[in-house]
Amino acid sequence: MTPTTKNYIGATLISISLFGLIAFAWPEYSSIPTIKTGIIEMEKNKAMATTALESIKKIKEEYESRGPIVTKVTKLIPQKKNTEEIISTIEAIISVTGVRLSRLAVGDAKSQSGLPYNLSPIELTINGAYPSIGVFLKTIESNIRLLDVTSVQMGKDQQNPGQLSFKISISGYYLKNDAPTINK
């Protein structure tokens, strides 16, 4: 074999190798811009996640700093229905306002779809003078426990001619079982 033939064989092998390298490496090389775009998107996602985590930390710090307010809210809307507590609250208000309780009924809870609380209906009939009923309603309004007076019906007291009879519907609130709770 002559040196010229050796040079041709070497050049041919180098050409075939370069062609094979270009044929197999070109698709990988052409995907580099796509990979760069993916890296940029991942960096954006990382920045957004970092921002979200910082926001969550700020919200947690604000929540913890408002502990006394959260405690008041849990007193306004208890974690569970407590019929005894509702009755004792109503009786305490009645004893302060000077009205007479004729009837008290606490109904079954009414679920509020889409809301984190349930309603507990309370029906009561009280007798007394008009000013004492006004004091009763103001005391209900200023009570620490969240109670809504939904209706008031007035009539004559049949047993005491100088008194009025009031049928009052009240809604008490308490959280559902799946509502977010306060963990201290």
Residue pLDDT, tens place only, 47-91:
999 999 999 999 888 878 877 776 666 666 777 777 888 888 888
Q: Which CATH class is domain 74-175?
A: alpha beta
Give the HSE-up count for residue 2: Cα atoms under 13 Å, Cβ half-sphere.
3
Look at residue 167 and tell me whether its pLDDT is greater than 90: yes
pLDDT of residue 178: 57
CA dist 87 → 15, 35, 92 (Å): 97, 68, 9
- CA nearest neighbour of 146 among 126, 178, 182, 120: 120
What is the arithmetic mean of pLDDT over 16-24?
82
Whether the pLDDT of residue 143 is over 50: the answer is: yes
What pLDDT is attached to residue 184?
Answer: 47
User: Whole-angstrom Cα distance, residue 67 to residue 32?
Assistant: 53
DSSP 17-82: HHHHHHHHHHHHHHTHHHHHHHHHHHHHHHHHHHHHHHHHHHHHHHHHHTHHHHHHHHHHS-SS--
Q: Residue 42: which pLDDT band, with cuts at 50, 70 and 90?
A: very high
Tokens encoding 133: 């009923």
Bin 113: left if φ > 0, else alpha if -120 < ψ < 50, else beta. beta
